[in-house]
């Protein structure tokens, strides 16, 4: 059984639309938090995270760390967007990892499609 689950509300992403995601951690040990990395395949553009657990992010962040302290019931919700018009469709890789004492304990990934 996986200790971390990552779900997106929609796997078909459009430019400047809100991406909503959810993470559930079922790790029996102590952990510091989770980190979410995203890669837009065949592109040097980045995703921008906007919020997590209803807290707005003031800076443009393309790699998101969420501390366990702000994850009630070991769950986290986040929003993000991709703010450019693609010339071709891209695959987008989302990867969420459990971090314990600066080490990755386990990760999960999923792929979405990004197109105009």
CATH number of the domain bearing residue 65? 2.60.40.2410
1 pLDDT tier (thresholds 50, 70, 90): low
State residue 15's pLDDT score. 96
Q: Is residue 100 within 8 Å of 30, Cβ to Cβ? A: yes
State residue 58's pLDDT score. 86
Residue with tokens 């209803």: 54
Comparing C-alpha atoms, which of 94, 79, 89 is closest to residue 114? 89
pLDDT in tens, 45-102: 999 999 999 999 988 888 999 999 999 899 999 999 999 999 999 999 999 999 999 9
Kindly state the average pLDDT of the residues 98-116.
96
Number of domains present in the structure of the chain: 1
pLDDT averaged over the chain?
95
Kindly state the average pLDDT of the residues 38-45.
95
State residue 38's pLDDT score. 95
State residue 59's pLDDT score. 85
In DSSP notation, 23-84 reads: EEE--SS---EEEEEEEETT-----EEEEETTEEEEEEESEEEEEGGG-GGGEEEEEEE--S
State residue 99's pLDDT score. 98
Strands 75-81 and 48-52 come out as antiparallel
**CA dist 75 → 78, 96, 107 (Å):** 10, 12, 15
Is the pLDDT at 37 greater than 90? The verdict is yes
Range of the domain at 14: 4-114
Q: How far apart are CA 58 and CA 94, in angstroms?
A: 22
Whole-prediction pTM? 0.92
Neighbours of 18 (CB within 10 A): 13
Q: How far apart are CA 67 and CA 71, in angstroms?
A: 7
């Amino acid at each position: 059984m996986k200790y971390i689950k990552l779900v997106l509300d929609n796997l078909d992403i459009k430019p400047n639309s809100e991406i909503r995601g959810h993470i559930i951690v079922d790790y029996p040990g102590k952990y510091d938090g989770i980190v979410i990395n995203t890669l837009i395949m065949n592109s040097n553009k980045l995703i921008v995270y906007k919020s997590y657990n209803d807290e707005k992010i003031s800076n443009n962040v393309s790699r998101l760390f969420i501390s366990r302290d702000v994850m009630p019931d070991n769950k986290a919700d986040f929003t993000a967007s991709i703010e450019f018009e693609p010339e071709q469709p891209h695959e987008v890789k989302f990867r969420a990892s459990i971090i314990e004492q600066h080490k990755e304990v386990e990760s999960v990934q999923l792929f979405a499609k990004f197109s105009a």
